[in-house]
């Protein structure tokens, strides 16, 4: 299948126009090697490990959530050269879907909401909101940890949880939490919780379920969608950073 046809399908799944302004240059083909696509690899980050694995399984295209070169650069250092070398030697093109996939129907946030088992899912400008059958905060937190197979951190005063908002990745931002507040949400599930956020939103249950575990489901689900739409071999590569807690 021609790369341009694959790209057309990817743009239909997560239209680039949905991306945030700060994502200029981080969406779409970021390494364009014009090959005929037989096999696709999908992963969260284009790390050295992931590229190597993609080469081992014979992928022609690697689709990731985070782009290879986040901040524009004009120096190529050794770790980057190493990754490029693997891609070039094995003719693997790179394609990124970032904030456009966050918001897309069936994208990062949708997948996260479904993995946690939310009902009555509705769309907001920033994340997804849904409900769980009313339960104590601790029960809910345990459920999140198990559903996403991760440790979690949590804080905030809520006792009974029913309405939940989710945002995959680094979603603990004041402007997002203000939206959650407007919807009278009981719990907010995202990652990379920071001190000033904890101080400002004390009366909501804040659950930090790690960047990886909240975004990964969306990339996993993407595999199934792509296989159906493209009738190509698509393989997910898992590269967990293995954060541990004591």
Residues within the interface to a copy of itself (CB under 8 A): 25-26, 28-34, 45, 47, 66-78, 81, 84-85, 88-89, 141-142, 145, 151-155, 169-170, 191-196, 198-199, 202, 210-212, 241-246
Cβ proximity to a copy of itself: between 71 and 231 the closer is 71
**Least separation in angstroms between CB 105 and a copy of itself:** 24
Residues 177, 200: Cα–Cα separation, whole Å = 10
Q: Which two tokens stand for residue 178?
A: 């203000």
**Least separation in angstroms between CB 76 and a copy of itself:** 5
Cβ proximity to a copy of itself: between 17 and 242 the closer is 242
**Least separation in angstroms between CB 228 and a copy of itself:** 29
Cβ proximity to a copy of itself: between 33 and 225 the closer is 33
Q: Which two tokens stand for residue 89?
A: 């030697």
211 is in an annotated binding site: yes
Residues 219, 200: Cα–Cα separation, whole Å = 31
Residues 141, 173: Cα–Cα separation, whole Å = 20
Cβ proximity to a copy of itself: between 67 and 100 the closer is 67
Query: 139 φ, ψ to 5°?
Result: -60, -45
143 is in an annotated binding site: no
159 is in an annotated binding site: no
Cβ proximity to a copy of itself: between 86 and 121 the closer is 86
List b or e across 39-55, with b for residues whose CB sees 16 or more CB atoms inside 10 angstroms: ebbbbbbbbeebbebbb
**Least separation in angstroms between CB 114 and a copy of itself:** 21
List b or e across 1-25, with b for residues whose CB sees 16 or more CB atoms inside 10 angstroms: eebeebbeebeebbeeebbeeebee
**Least separation in angstroms between CB 134 and a copy of itself:** 20
Query: Any long-range contacts for 130-139 (C-beta under 8 Å, 24+ apart)?
Result: 130/163, 130/164, 130/166, 131/162, 131/163, 131/164, 132/161, 132/162, 132/164, 133/162, 134/160, 134/161, 134/162, 135/160, 135/161, 136/160, 136/161, 137/161, 137/187, 137/205
**Least separation in angstroms between CB 58 and a copy of itself:** 19
Cβ proximity to a copy of itself: between 93 and 226 the closer is 93
Residue ranges at the known binding site: 65-66, 102, 211, 215
Residue ranges at the known binding site for a divalent metal cation: 65-66, 102, 211, 215
């Amino acid at each position: 299948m021609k790369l341009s046809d694959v790209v057309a399908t990817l743009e239909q799944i997560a239209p680039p126009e949905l991306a945030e302004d700060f994502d200029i240059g981080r969406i779409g083909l970021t390494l364009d090697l014009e090959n005929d696509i037989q096999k696709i690899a999908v992963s969260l980050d284009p790390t050295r490990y992931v590229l190597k694995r993609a080469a081992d399984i014979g992928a022609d295209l690697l689709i990731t959530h985070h782009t290879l070169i986040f901040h524009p650069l004009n120096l190529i250092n050794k770790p980057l050269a190493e990754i490029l070398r693997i891609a070039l030697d094995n003719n693997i093109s790179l394609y990124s879907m970032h904030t456009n996939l966050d918001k897309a129907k069936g994208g990062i946030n949708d997948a996260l909401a479904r993995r946690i088992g939310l009902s009555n899912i509705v769309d907001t400008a920033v994340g997804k909101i849904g409900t769980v059958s009313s339960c104590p905060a601790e029960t809910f937190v345990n459920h999140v940890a198990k559903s996403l197979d991760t440790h979690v951190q949590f804080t905030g005063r809520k006792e009974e949880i029913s309405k939940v908002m989710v945002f995959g990745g680094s979603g603990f931002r004041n402007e997002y939490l203000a939206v959650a507040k407007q919807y009278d949400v009981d719990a907010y599930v995202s990652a990379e919780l920071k001190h000033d956020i904890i101080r400002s939103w004390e009366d909501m249950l804040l659950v930090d379920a790690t960047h990886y575990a909240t975004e990964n489901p969306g990339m996993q689900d993407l595999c199934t969608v792509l296989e159906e739409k493209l009738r190509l071999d698509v393989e997910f590569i898992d590269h967990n950073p293995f954060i541990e807690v004591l």
